[in-house]
Amino acid sequence: MAVNVYLNFNGNCREAVLFYADVFGTEKPHIMTFGEQPPNPEYPLPEEAKDLVMHARLMISDSNVMFSDTFPGMPFVLGNNVSLAIVTHSREDIENWFHKLKVGGKVGMELQETFWSKCYGQITDQFGIEWQLSLEEAEGNE
């Protein structure tokens, strides 16, 4: 398990990911857009979000760096566009960390199942650091 850096952009994420892939000589990144996620009739996807980057990842000097555009209407503040992401095989750890981090903090997304994780949540801690916690199924348990 490692703590990964997650960088957010204001509509130019694809350009940034391709730039960093070239700079650091990584493999061509897989870029997932918001339009590629399964549709949810309760929350129709705005047209301007469909081509924005929902998730991309590069291995830069043995470090996993993840990227995303902010969703239209969500606040974007240059300088505060970095979060720390922990992906682990332990639901117990995620739940424990989440409940400790939320003391004095602000929950952005309660722990819940998503199409990419059985248990995912976002929280900004009391010091203003944003955390993303995500359960990754162990090999053979998927």
- Looking at the structure, tell me whether residues 71 and 129 fall in a common domain: no
Angle made by CA atoms 74, 80, 2, in degrees to the nearest 5: 105
- Looking at the structure, tell me whether residues 3 and 37 fall in a common domain: yes
- Looking at the structure, tell me whether residues 92 and 55 fall in a common domain: no
DSSP characters for 86-123?
EEES-HHHHHHHHHHHTTTSEEEEEEE--SS-SSEEEE
- Looking at the structure, tell me whether residues 123 and 91 fall in a common domain: yes
- Looking at the structure, tell me whether residues 61 and 45 fall in a common domain: yes
Containing domain of residue 102, as a range?
78-141
The secondary structure of residue 75, as a DSSP letter, is -
- Looking at the structure, tell me whether residues 57 and 93 fall in a common domain: no
CATH of residue 35's domain is 3.10.180.10
DSSP characters for 16-72?
HHHHHHHHHTPPPPPEEEGGGSPP-TTSPPPGGGTTSEEEEEEEETTEEEEEEEPPT
Per-residue pLDDT of the chain (142 residues; tens, 9 = 90+): 678 899 999 999 999 999 999 988 999 999 999 999 988 888 889 999 999 999 999 998 788 999 999 998 888 887 778 888 888 899 999 999 999 999 999 999 999 999 889 999 999 887 777 889 999 887 655 4
Q: How many CB atoms lie within 10 A of CB 66?
A: 18
Q: What does the CA dihedral 67, 6, 20, 24 come to, rounded to 10 degrees? A: -130
CATH of residue 124's domain is 3.30.720.110
CA distances for 70 relative to 29, 45, 53, 55, 93, angstroms: 19, 14, 8, 10, 27
- Looking at the structure, tell me whether residues 111 and 134 fall in a common domain: yes
- Looking at the structure, tell me whether residues 84 and 71 fall in a common domain: no
What pLDDT, on the 0 to 100 scale, is given for residue 139? Answer: 63
The pTM for the full model equals: 0.70
